[in-house]
Structure 1
Amino acid sequence: MTHAPQHTIEVVAHRGASEDAPEHTLAAYMKAIEDGADALECDVRLTADGHLVCVHDRRVNRVSNGRGAVSALELADLAALDFGTWKGREESNESPDRGDPALTSVLTLERLLELVADAGRPVGLAIETKHPTRWAGQVEERLLQLLKRFGLTDPRPGSPSPVRIMSFSARSLHRVAAAAPAIPTVYLMQFVTPRVRDGRLPAGSRIAGPSIRIVRNHPAYIARLRRAGHHVHVWTVDEPEDVELCARLGVEAIITNRPKQVLSQLGRF
C-alpha cells in the first residue's frame, strides 16, 4: 500500500473509468466522476462533417459494431453504431446502466464538456489530439473554438486551467500554444528520443508526458525532466507497483484506467 505522497498526485481517468465501462463512452466518464477522478482523459478525432468525437483509433472497428475511418464518417453515421457491447458485461458490473443507448453511443467532445460543466465539483479535462490525420490543423482549430465556447481558453488569473491539450505531435502542440498560450500542453512520449534526452521539450510543450515504460526503464530521466522545471504526467498507470514508483518519483499526474483503485492506493478514497 502506498503511503500518501508529500504532494497530491492528480488522478486522471484514461478514456474514463475504462476498466469498468467501455472506453470513451458517457458511461465510462460518469463512472470516473463518481469514483472521484480529478480529471478525465479523452482522445479526439474530427468527423467528415466537422464534429470532434472521442475515439482513440483511426478506425471504429475495434470499439463498435461498425467499420471505417472516423474521418470518413459523418456524426450521424457514428451515432448509429454501438460503442458499448464489445466490452463484456461481466467486466462492467460497477458501470452505470448500459441499457440506455445514450451511455454507450459515440460521444462528442461537446457532450463531454457539458458533463464536466455539470459535475457539481471541479473536474479537469486532458484532451489528446490524434495524429497523423487528414485534417491537419483543423483538429486544433475546431478544438480551440469549442473550448472557447465553454470559456476554457482563458482561465481566470491565478487559477489553474481546467483543461490541457496533449499530443505525441510537437507540431500540434505548437499550433495550440501559438493560438491559446494560456492552455497547458503535454508532450506525450513513448520512447526517450535524442530530441528530449537532455530533459528539454519541443517548443510549445509545457508538461512532459512519458509512458510508464519510460518511467520503469529510465527513472533518472524523470528526475532530469523535473530538474529542467517540467511537471510530469505519466500514462497509462494501472499496476500498484507502478503507482508506487510514480509516487516515489514525485510525478504530478497519473493517467489510469483504474481511477478508483489508484485513488485508494494513494490514500485519497
Structure 2
Amino acid sequence: RMDLDVEVSRLKLMKADHQSKQYRLEDQLLKHFPEEIEKHKGFIQGLETDMETLAAHPHPTDGFTGMEVRGDTLTDKENAGAALLDACKEVKGSEPVQVGSYRGFAMFVTFDAFQKEYMLQLKGRMTHRTALGADPRGNLTRIDNALSQMPQRLESVKVQLDNLYQQQAAAKEEVGKAFPYEEELRVKNARLVELDMELNMDSRGQSRPEAAISKRARPSVLEGLKRPIPPRSMEKKPRQQEQEAR
C-alpha cells in the first residue's frame, strides 16, 4: 500500500503542475502575447519613422549639419559640442531637460548621480541614448553613432517579434491538452481507496487481544455476591474457654 500511496501522490503533483502550466498558457494567450506583439509592432513603426527622419537630415559631404542648443543654431562642430556641454551644467538630476535639437530629433539631458555622467536622449518616435564625455567633438561622434544604430535595433526587434509569434503558436498547440496520465491516476487512486476501505473494515472487525484477556481475567463482582456466606463458628476460642474454667 505504501508504494501505491507514493505513486498516487506523485501523479497528483504532476497533474497539479500540468494544470498550473495550462493556466499560464491561457494567461499568456489572453494578455502577454497580444500585448508584447503590439508593443514590438510599435517599436518597428517608430524605428522606421525615425530612420526616415534621420535620412531627411543628412550631414553635408565632409561637413556638419548643425545643432540647435538653447535656441542657438551652431554650424561649427567645436562650438556645438562646447555649447552642449555648457547646457549640461544646468541639469542636476534624472528628470530629462530639453537642451536643443539635432538632425530632426529633440535633445534631452539627464544626470546619472551614481555614474557621475550626463546622458543624452534623442527623441523622435523612439528614444535613442548615449553617454556624454568631456570632449566636445567626441560627443558629436557619440551622438551620430547612437543614431546610426537604428537599422541594427530594427532588425533585433523584428527577430523578437518573430520569436513572439512562434511562442504564441506553440502555446496554442499546448493549451487545452488533458493530463496525459489521467487514466493511470484514476486507476491507482481507486485501488488506493479500495485498500483503505479493506483496512478500515479489518480494524473494526478485530478486537484487541489484550483487552479480551483482561476482560476474562477480571473477577466478577456479581459472582462474588452470589456466593453463600459461610456460617459463623459457635466454638469459643481456646483462651476464652480457659478463662471460664478458672
TM over 0.5: no
For the aligned pair, the TM-score class normalised by the smaller chain equals: under 0.3
Larger radius of gyration: 2
* Larger helix fraction of residues: 2
TM-score (norm 1): 0.22
TM-score (norm 2): 0.23
